[in-house]
């Protein structure tokens, strides 16, 4: 666990909520100078209260769903902003009583004593594009749920599944509707097919926009990612924008840990008691590298046999084999983006043979 080192004379902890924020400002000795509740998240009022200390101040806020505006407002006001990692922070501080006043005071204490585990503040200018990409993923997963629902309904009536893709929806829909004789079930099927069609159009429009913007802003990195087996245009977008700046990861261990591809251990008296930290990291990168591993072992002439060897080594456990392969792909992506080089399958073969 890494900690942020505060270098300012004054430190401010903010317990942020949707409609209010509790503020506690301390000096280096722990003396409370401001401790108040700011209603309606009035940032102008907040600036007035901290005005005497603004010249040498660091502000910390726990990572929650509504931190974007506070980070941007602090940056615009010239304040140093630190985003505290919520799960790490929960492991550090606790107590019998818990409320907004106590939480803000604890945040200020942790900041002045250099015990804040920082989270990454994603650049404000790139957040809209990443949000658009996550919206596309949400639409894709919703469409997949609808398609699975239609498939299960066909199996419930002992009808063979009909192969289809986004490009072959018309004949697929015609066959489904023709096979359904009951008027109510046909109406329900028409509703679900209409939603699938709508998702198709929205996803296609989003993909075109995302590809255009990416080829304009990050063409080289985007092209490099697509040299990796299993990573195409869409997975490449997810990996590229969820990583952000690769330089924020000092080592490859930091990167694969952020991708949720390794877990921490719990040890006592020299013995490992278990694993922990499965939810620490980026779930989108874990999903993307997992998908890339499945696609790579299915299509690539080098990785396919290696994946079969991994499954044999793990006694048929495909989940473990896929996780190891996803880990190796993530390591390869890290060094590719660091060194601006294309994927080298021979290095992957050597890395897997050493395990």
Residue 353 has pLDDT above 70, yes or no: no
Contact 275, 262 (CB under 8 A): no
Q: If pLDDT is split at 50, 70 and 90, which confidence band does 95 have?
A: low
Structure tokens belonging to residue 244: 């952000």
Q: Is it true that domain 10-119 has CATH number 3.40.50.12780?
A: no
Residue 54 has pLDDT above 70, yes or no: yes
**Which of residues 150 and 278 earns the better pLDDT score?**
150
Cα–Cα–Cα angle for 271, 272, 273, rounded to 5 degrees: 110
Residue 326 has pLDDT above 70, yes or no: yes
Domain ranges, ordered by start, for the chain = 10-119, 127-217, 225-353
pTM of the model: 0.86
pLDDT for res 97:
73
Q: If pLDDT is split at 50, 70 and 90, which confidence band does 268 have?
A: confident
Across residues 285-310, what is the average pLDDT?
87
Across residues 149-156, what is the average pLDDT?
91
Dump pLDDT digits (tens) for 157-191.
Answer: 888 888 888 888 889 999 999 988 899 999 999 99
Highest mean pLDDT among 212-226, 261-275, 287-301: 212-226
pLDDT for res 355:
59
Highest mean pLDDT among 138-142, 151-155, 175-179: 138-142
Across residues 230-252, what is the average pLDDT?
94
Q: Considering the chain, what is the average pLDDT of its residues? A: 90
pLDDT for res 96:
67
Contact 35, 24 (CB under 8 A): yes
Residue 117 has pLDDT above 80, yes or no: yes
Q: If pLDDT is split at 50, 70 and 90, which confidence band does 91 have?
A: low
Dump pLDDT digits (tens) for 333-348.
Answer: 999 999 999 998 877 7
Across residues 20-42, what is the average pLDDT?
95
């Amino acid at each position: 666990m890494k900690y942020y080192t505060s270098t300012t004379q004054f430190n401010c902890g903010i317990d942020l909520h949707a409609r209010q924020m509790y503020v506690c400002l301390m000096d280096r000795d722990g003396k409370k100078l401001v401790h108040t509740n700011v209603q309606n998240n009035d940032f102008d009022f907040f600036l007035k209260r901290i005005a005497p200390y603004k010249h040498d101040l660091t502000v910390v806020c726990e990572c929650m769903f509504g931190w974007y505006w506070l980070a941007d407002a602090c940056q615009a006001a010239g304040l140093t902003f630190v985003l505290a990692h919520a799960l790490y922070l929960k492991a550090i501080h606790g107590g019998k009583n818990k409320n907004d006043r106590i939480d803000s005071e604890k945040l200020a204490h942790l900041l002045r004593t250099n015990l804040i585990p920082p989270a990454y503040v994603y650049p404000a200018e790139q957040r809209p594009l990443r949000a658009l990409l996550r919206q596309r993923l949400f639409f894709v997963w919703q469409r997949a749920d609808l398609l699975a629902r239609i498939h299960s309904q066909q199996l419930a009536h002992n009808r063979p599944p009909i192969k289809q893709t986004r490009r072959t929806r018309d004949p697929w829909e015609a066959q489904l509707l023709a096979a359904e004789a009951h008027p109510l079930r046909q109406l329900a099927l028409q509703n679900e097919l209409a939603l699938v069609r709508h998702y198709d159009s929205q996803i296609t429009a989003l993909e075109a926009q995302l590809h255009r913007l990416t080829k304009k802003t990050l063409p080289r990195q985007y092209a490099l990612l697509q040299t990796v087996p299993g990573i195409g245009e869409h997975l490449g977008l997810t990996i590229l924008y969820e990583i952000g700046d690769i330089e924020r990861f000092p080592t490859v261990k930091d990167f694969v840990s952020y991708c949720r591809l390794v877990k921490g251990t719990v040890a006592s008296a020299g013995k490992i008691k278990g694993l922990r930290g499965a939810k620490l990291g980026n779930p989108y990168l874990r999903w993307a590298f997992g998908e890339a591993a499945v696609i790579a072992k299915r299509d690539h002439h080098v990785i396919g046999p290696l994946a079969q060897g991994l499954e044999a080594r793990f006694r048929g456990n495909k989940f473990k084999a896929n996780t190891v392969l996803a880990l190796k792909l993530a390591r390869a992506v890290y060094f590719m983006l660091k060194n601006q080089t294309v994927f080298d399958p021979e290095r992957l073969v050597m890395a897997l043979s050493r395990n």
